[in-house]
Amino acid sequence: MGNQKFNIALIGAGTIGTALGNILAEAGTESILLHSIEEQIVEDINRIHINSKYFPTLHLHHSLYATTDERMLEHCKIIFLAIPSVIMVEYLKKIQPHLPPDAILLNLAKGFGLGNRTIPECLTEEFPNPLGTLKGPSFAREIINRLPTGFTLGYQNPDQIKKIKAIFKNTNIHLDYSDDIRGVEILSILKNIYAVVLGIVDAQFNSPNLRFLILTKAFQEMRKVLLYFGGRADTLFNYCGYGDFTLTALNYLSRNRTLGLLIGKGFFTEHVSHELVLEGKTAADVFYQEISKTVSVEDHFPIIAELYRIFHTKYDISLFVNTLLNFPEE
Protein backbone atom coordinates (compact mmCIF):
# COMPACT_ATOMS: atom_id res chain seq x y z
CA MET A 1 0.00 0.00 0.00
CA GLY A 2 3.05 2.26 0.07
CA ASN A 3 2.17 3.85 -3.33
CA GLN A 4 -1.50 4.36 -2.56
CA LYS A 5 -2.84 7.90 -2.30
CA PHE A 6 -4.83 8.59 0.85
CA ASN A 7 -7.52 11.26 1.29
CA ILE A 8 -7.87 10.91 5.05
CA ALA A 9 -5.04 10.68 7.59
CA LEU A 10 -4.53 10.85 11.32
CA ILE A 11 -1.23 12.15 12.67
CA GLY A 12 -0.60 10.28 15.90
CA ALA A 13 -1.12 6.58 16.61
CA GLY A 14 -1.97 6.85 20.29
CA THR A 15 -5.32 5.86 21.74
CA ILE A 16 -7.55 8.48 20.14
CA GLY A 17 -5.79 8.44 16.76
CA THR A 18 -5.93 4.66 16.54
CA ALA A 19 -9.54 4.49 17.73
CA LEU A 20 -10.86 7.04 15.26
CA GLY A 21 -8.71 5.67 12.46
CA ASN A 22 -10.04 2.18 13.02
CA ILE A 23 -13.73 3.11 13.07
CA LEU A 24 -13.25 5.20 9.93
CA ALA A 25 -11.53 2.24 8.26
CA GLU A 26 -14.37 -0.04 9.32
CA ALA A 27 -16.91 2.32 7.75
CA GLY A 28 -15.45 1.17 4.45
CA THR A 29 -15.67 4.38 2.46
CA GLU A 30 -11.90 4.93 2.21
CA SER A 31 -8.55 3.51 3.24
CA ILE A 32 -7.26 5.40 6.24
CA LEU A 33 -3.67 6.49 6.83
CA LEU A 34 -2.25 6.52 10.36
CA HIS A 35 1.01 8.46 10.65
CA SER A 36 3.33 7.81 13.59
CA ILE A 37 6.98 8.35 14.51
CA GLU A 38 6.97 5.05 16.45
CA GLU A 39 8.35 2.43 14.08
CA GLN A 40 7.27 -0.58 16.15
CA ILE A 41 3.65 0.59 16.22
CA VAL A 42 3.70 1.11 12.46
CA GLU A 43 5.19 -2.32 11.83
CA ASP A 44 2.70 -4.08 14.10
CA ILE A 45 -0.34 -2.35 12.60
CA ASN A 46 0.70 -3.23 9.06
CA ARG A 47 1.95 -6.75 9.80
CA ILE A 48 -0.46 -8.14 12.43
CA HIS A 49 -3.13 -5.39 12.53
CA ILE A 50 -2.61 -4.64 16.23
CA ASN A 51 -1.43 -1.50 17.98
CA SER A 52 0.66 -3.42 20.48
CA LYS A 53 1.34 -0.36 22.66
CA TYR A 54 -2.14 1.11 23.09
CA PHE A 55 -4.66 -1.62 22.14
CA PRO A 56 -2.75 -4.91 22.42
CA THR A 57 -5.86 -7.12 22.55
CA LEU A 58 -7.85 -5.52 19.71
CA HIS A 59 -7.60 -6.52 16.07
CA LEU A 60 -7.59 -3.49 13.77
CA HIS A 61 -9.25 -3.26 10.37
CA HIS A 62 -7.08 -4.41 7.47
CA SER A 63 -7.55 -1.14 5.56
CA LEU A 64 -6.00 0.95 8.34
CA TYR A 65 -2.48 1.56 7.05
CA ALA A 66 0.32 2.99 9.19
CA THR A 67 3.44 4.83 8.11
CA THR A 68 6.36 6.87 9.42
CA ASP A 69 6.70 8.57 6.02
CA GLU A 70 5.23 12.08 6.07
CA ARG A 71 5.34 12.17 2.26
CA MET A 72 2.27 9.94 2.27
CA LEU A 73 0.27 12.87 3.65
CA GLU A 74 0.71 14.84 0.42
CA HIS A 75 -2.64 13.93 -1.17
CA CYS A 76 -4.81 14.12 1.95
CA LYS A 77 -7.94 16.26 2.05
CA ILE A 78 -8.63 15.85 5.78
CA ILE A 79 -5.93 15.40 8.43
CA PHE A 80 -6.79 14.72 12.07
CA LEU A 81 -4.21 15.96 14.57
CA ALA A 82 -3.89 13.45 17.41
CA ILE A 83 -0.53 14.29 18.96
CA PRO A 84 0.07 16.10 22.28
CA SER A 85 -0.72 19.81 22.24
CA VAL A 86 2.70 20.77 23.63
CA ILE A 87 4.50 19.45 20.53
CA MET A 88 1.76 20.01 17.94
CA VAL A 89 2.85 23.25 16.31
CA GLU A 90 6.57 22.52 16.13
CA TYR A 91 6.01 19.03 14.74
CA LEU A 92 3.63 20.26 12.04
CA LYS A 93 6.10 23.00 11.08
CA LYS A 94 8.71 20.29 10.66
CA ILE A 95 6.56 18.28 8.23
CA GLN A 96 4.82 21.29 6.63
CA PRO A 97 6.30 20.66 3.14
CA HIS A 98 4.23 17.47 3.05
CA LEU A 99 0.94 18.98 4.25
CA PRO A 100 -1.34 19.99 1.35
CA PRO A 101 -2.23 23.66 1.94
CA ASP A 102 -5.91 23.02 1.22
CA ALA A 103 -6.23 20.01 3.57
CA ILE A 104 -8.56 20.56 6.54
CA LEU A 105 -6.57 20.22 9.78
CA LEU A 106 -8.79 18.95 12.60
CA ASN A 107 -7.38 19.28 16.10
CA LEU A 108 -8.11 16.44 18.53
CA ALA A 109 -5.58 17.46 21.19
CA LYS A 110 -6.84 19.06 24.41
CA GLY A 111 -4.47 21.66 25.73
CA PHE A 112 -2.74 24.94 24.98
CA GLY A 113 -0.25 25.51 22.20
CA LEU A 114 2.53 28.06 22.25
CA GLY A 115 2.17 31.13 24.43
CA ASN A 116 -1.00 29.88 26.14
CA ARG A 117 -2.94 30.19 22.89
CA THR A 118 -5.28 27.53 21.57
CA ILE A 119 -3.96 25.10 18.98
CA PRO A 120 -6.09 26.54 16.12
CA GLU A 121 -4.90 30.06 16.99
CA CYS A 122 -1.29 28.89 16.80
CA LEU A 123 -1.89 27.03 13.53
CA THR A 124 -3.60 30.04 11.94
CA GLU A 125 -0.34 31.98 12.27
CA GLU A 126 1.78 29.26 10.67
CA PHE A 127 -0.36 27.43 8.12
CA PRO A 128 -2.69 28.41 5.26
CA ASN A 129 -4.93 25.38 5.85
CA PRO A 130 -8.60 25.52 6.76
CA LEU A 131 -8.86 24.56 10.43
CA GLY A 132 -11.34 22.84 12.69
CA THR A 133 -11.49 21.16 16.06
CA LEU A 134 -13.19 18.03 17.32
CA LYS A 135 -13.95 17.73 21.02
CA GLY A 136 -16.41 15.79 23.15
CA PRO A 137 -17.02 13.17 25.85
CA SER A 138 -14.93 10.46 24.25
CA PHE A 139 -12.91 7.74 25.91
CA ALA A 140 -10.91 6.09 23.13
CA ARG A 141 -11.61 2.55 24.31
CA GLU A 142 -15.34 3.13 23.96
CA ILE A 143 -14.89 4.61 20.49
CA ILE A 144 -12.89 1.65 19.22
CA ASN A 145 -15.48 -0.72 20.71
CA ARG A 146 -18.12 1.05 18.58
CA LEU A 147 -20.11 2.59 21.42
CA PRO A 148 -22.06 5.73 20.44
CA THR A 149 -19.89 8.81 21.04
CA GLY A 150 -20.54 12.53 20.64
CA PHE A 151 -18.13 15.15 19.31
CA THR A 152 -18.53 18.84 18.66
CA LEU A 153 -17.09 19.94 15.34
CA GLY A 154 -15.77 23.48 15.71
CA TYR A 155 -15.62 24.83 12.17
CA GLN A 156 -14.48 27.93 10.29
CA ASN A 157 -16.68 27.48 7.26
CA PRO A 158 -20.08 25.70 7.01
CA ASP A 159 -18.73 23.77 4.02
CA GLN A 160 -16.57 21.82 6.49
CA ILE A 161 -19.69 20.37 8.13
CA LYS A 162 -20.74 18.41 5.06
CA LYS A 163 -17.26 17.03 4.48
CA ILE A 164 -16.69 15.88 8.07
CA LYS A 165 -20.22 14.57 8.47
CA ALA A 166 -19.76 12.44 5.35
CA ILE A 167 -16.67 10.63 6.60
CA PHE A 168 -18.36 9.68 9.87
CA LYS A 169 -21.40 8.21 8.12
CA ASN A 170 -21.99 4.59 9.19
CA THR A 171 -19.82 4.99 12.28
CA ASN A 172 -20.63 5.27 15.99
CA ILE A 173 -19.68 8.99 15.99
CA HIS A 174 -22.46 11.56 16.44
CA LEU A 175 -21.68 15.20 15.73
CA ASP A 176 -23.00 18.57 16.75
CA TYR A 177 -21.57 21.80 15.42
CA SER A 178 -20.30 25.21 16.50
CA ASP A 179 -18.49 28.04 14.75
CA ASP A 180 -17.15 29.09 18.17
CA ILE A 181 -13.80 27.35 17.69
CA ARG A 182 -12.19 29.28 20.53
CA GLY A 183 -15.00 28.33 22.90
CA VAL A 184 -14.78 24.65 21.93
CA GLU A 185 -11.04 24.67 22.60
CA ILE A 186 -11.30 26.58 25.90
CA LEU A 187 -13.96 24.21 27.24
CA SER A 188 -11.87 21.16 26.38
CA ILE A 189 -9.12 22.52 28.64
CA LEU A 190 -11.32 23.99 31.38
CA LYS A 191 -13.14 20.75 32.11
CA ASN A 192 -9.93 19.22 33.46
CA ILE A 193 -9.76 21.86 36.21
CA TYR A 194 -13.24 21.22 37.49
CA ALA A 195 -12.87 17.44 37.18
CA VAL A 196 -10.08 17.69 39.75
CA VAL A 197 -12.42 19.66 42.02
CA LEU A 198 -15.16 17.01 41.80
CA GLY A 199 -12.60 14.31 42.52
CA ILE A 200 -11.56 16.07 45.73
CA VAL A 201 -15.18 16.39 46.82
CA ASP A 202 -15.98 12.74 46.14
CA ALA A 203 -12.84 11.59 47.93
CA GLN A 204 -14.09 13.22 51.11
CA PHE A 205 -17.87 12.83 50.92
CA ASN A 206 -20.00 10.09 49.42
CA SER A 207 -22.92 12.47 48.98
CA PRO A 208 -24.93 12.86 45.76
CA ASN A 209 -26.46 16.06 47.15
CA LEU A 210 -23.05 17.64 47.73
CA ARG A 211 -21.60 16.27 44.48
CA PHE A 212 -24.22 17.97 42.35
CA LEU A 213 -24.21 21.13 44.41
CA ILE A 214 -20.50 21.53 43.65
CA LEU A 215 -21.03 20.37 40.06
CA THR A 216 -23.50 23.21 39.60
CA LYS A 217 -21.10 25.76 41.11
CA ALA A 218 -18.34 24.47 38.87
CA PHE A 219 -20.52 24.67 35.77
CA GLN A 220 -21.46 28.26 36.63
CA GLU A 221 -17.82 29.23 36.98
CA MET A 222 -16.94 27.45 33.73
CA ARG A 223 -19.48 29.66 31.99
CA LYS A 224 -17.87 32.80 33.44
CA VAL A 225 -14.38 31.70 32.42
CA LEU A 226 -15.57 30.77 28.93
CA LEU A 227 -17.08 34.24 28.44
CA TYR A 228 -14.00 35.93 29.93
CA PHE A 229 -11.80 34.22 27.33
CA GLY A 230 -14.02 35.10 24.40
CA GLY A 231 -16.15 31.99 23.98
CA ARG A 232 -19.94 31.93 23.68
CA ALA A 233 -22.24 30.72 26.45
CA ASP A 234 -24.29 28.49 24.12
CA THR A 235 -21.18 26.40 23.38
CA LEU A 236 -21.49 25.01 26.92
CA PHE A 237 -24.44 22.96 25.75
CA ASN A 238 -22.64 21.22 22.92
CA TYR A 239 -20.98 17.84 23.42
CA CYS A 240 -17.70 19.69 24.03
CA GLY A 241 -19.21 21.53 27.00
CA TYR A 242 -21.59 19.91 29.45
CA GLY A 243 -21.00 16.44 28.01
CA ASP A 244 -17.22 16.46 28.14
CA PHE A 245 -17.17 18.18 31.53
CA THR A 246 -19.46 15.69 33.25
CA LEU A 247 -17.72 12.70 31.65
CA THR A 248 -14.36 13.94 32.93
CA ALA A 249 -15.64 15.04 36.34
CA LEU A 250 -17.72 11.98 37.25
CA ASN A 251 -16.14 8.97 35.54
CA TYR A 252 -13.44 6.88 37.19
CA LEU A 253 -11.58 6.43 33.89
CA SER A 254 -10.77 10.16 34.00
CA ARG A 255 -7.17 11.01 34.90
CA ASN A 256 -8.12 14.41 36.27
CA ARG A 257 -10.89 13.07 38.47
CA THR A 258 -8.35 10.51 39.71
CA LEU A 259 -5.94 13.35 40.49
CA GLY A 260 -8.70 14.95 42.57
CA LEU A 261 -9.32 11.71 44.40
CA LEU A 262 -5.60 11.48 45.24
CA ILE A 263 -5.57 15.05 46.52
CA GLY A 264 -8.76 14.53 48.53
CA LYS A 265 -7.34 11.43 50.20
CA GLY A 266 -4.03 13.16 50.97
CA PHE A 267 -1.87 11.22 48.50
CA PHE A 268 -0.85 14.13 46.27
CA THR A 269 2.86 14.91 46.63
CA GLU A 270 5.54 16.79 44.72
CA HIS A 271 6.73 13.41 43.44
CA VAL A 272 3.30 12.70 41.95
CA SER A 273 3.21 16.19 40.46
CA HIS A 274 6.56 15.75 38.70
CA GLU A 275 6.06 12.17 37.53
CA LEU A 276 2.61 12.48 35.96
CA VAL A 277 1.18 14.57 33.15
CA LEU A 278 -1.42 16.51 35.09
CA GLU A 279 -3.67 18.37 32.66
CA GLY A 280 -5.85 19.81 35.43
CA LYS A 281 -2.88 21.26 37.32
CA THR A 282 -1.35 22.75 34.18
CA ALA A 283 -4.69 24.24 33.13
CA ALA A 284 -5.35 25.73 36.57
CA ASP A 285 -1.92 27.38 36.52
CA VAL A 286 -2.40 28.85 33.04
CA PHE A 287 -5.91 30.17 33.64
CA TYR A 288 -4.95 31.62 37.02
CA GLN A 289 -1.93 33.40 35.58
CA GLU A 290 -3.79 34.74 32.54
CA ILE A 291 -6.79 35.99 34.54
CA SER A 292 -4.62 37.58 37.21
CA LYS A 293 -3.16 39.92 34.58
CA THR A 294 -6.43 41.88 34.56
CA VAL A 295 -8.65 40.99 37.54
CA SER A 296 -8.56 39.27 40.93
CA VAL A 297 -8.95 35.54 40.37
CA GLU A 298 -10.05 35.10 44.00
CA ASP A 299 -12.89 37.58 43.57
CA HIS A 300 -14.13 36.51 40.14
CA PHE A 301 -13.20 32.83 39.78
CA PRO A 302 -12.83 31.49 43.33
CA ILE A 303 -12.83 27.77 42.49
CA ILE A 304 -9.83 28.12 40.18
CA ALA A 305 -8.15 30.30 42.80
CA GLU A 306 -8.70 27.68 45.52
CA LEU A 307 -7.36 24.87 43.36
CA TYR A 308 -4.33 27.00 42.53
CA ARG A 309 -3.71 27.39 46.29
CA ILE A 310 -3.81 23.61 46.70
CA PHE A 311 -1.11 23.17 44.07
CA HIS A 312 1.15 25.99 45.27
CA THR A 313 0.79 26.36 49.05
CA LYS A 314 0.67 24.20 52.14
CA TYR A 315 -3.05 23.56 52.16
CA ASP A 316 -5.29 21.79 54.65
CA ILE A 317 -7.40 19.76 52.23
CA SER A 318 -10.00 19.04 54.92
CA LEU A 319 -11.10 22.69 54.60
CA PHE A 320 -11.62 22.59 50.83
CA VAL A 321 -15.31 21.68 50.63
CA ASN A 322 -16.42 24.12 53.34
CA THR A 323 -14.42 26.85 51.62
CA LEU A 324 -16.28 26.19 48.35
CA LEU A 325 -19.63 26.15 50.16
CA ASN A 326 -18.94 29.49 51.79
CA PHE A 327 -18.13 31.37 48.61
CA PRO A 328 -20.70 34.17 48.25
CA GLU A 329 -23.54 33.39 45.87
CA GLU A 330 -23.86 35.67 42.85
Give the residue numbers marked as catalytic.
191
CA 259, CA 281: separation in Å to the nearest integer?
9
Q: How far apart are CA 303 and CA 324, in angstroms?
A: 7
**Positive/negative CA dihedral, 300, 306, 307, 312:** positive
In order of 20, 119, 233, the CA distances from 242 in angstroms are 22, 21, 11
- For residue 150, the tally of other CB atoms under 10 A from its CB is 18
Rounded CA separation 114/217 (Å):
30
Q: What's the CA gap between 126 and 280, in Å, rounded?
A: 28
Inter-residue contact 304 to 287 (CB < 8 Å): yes
Question: For 171, which DSSP code?
Answer: S
Classify the C-alpha dihedral 83-89-94-100 as positive or negative.
Answer: positive
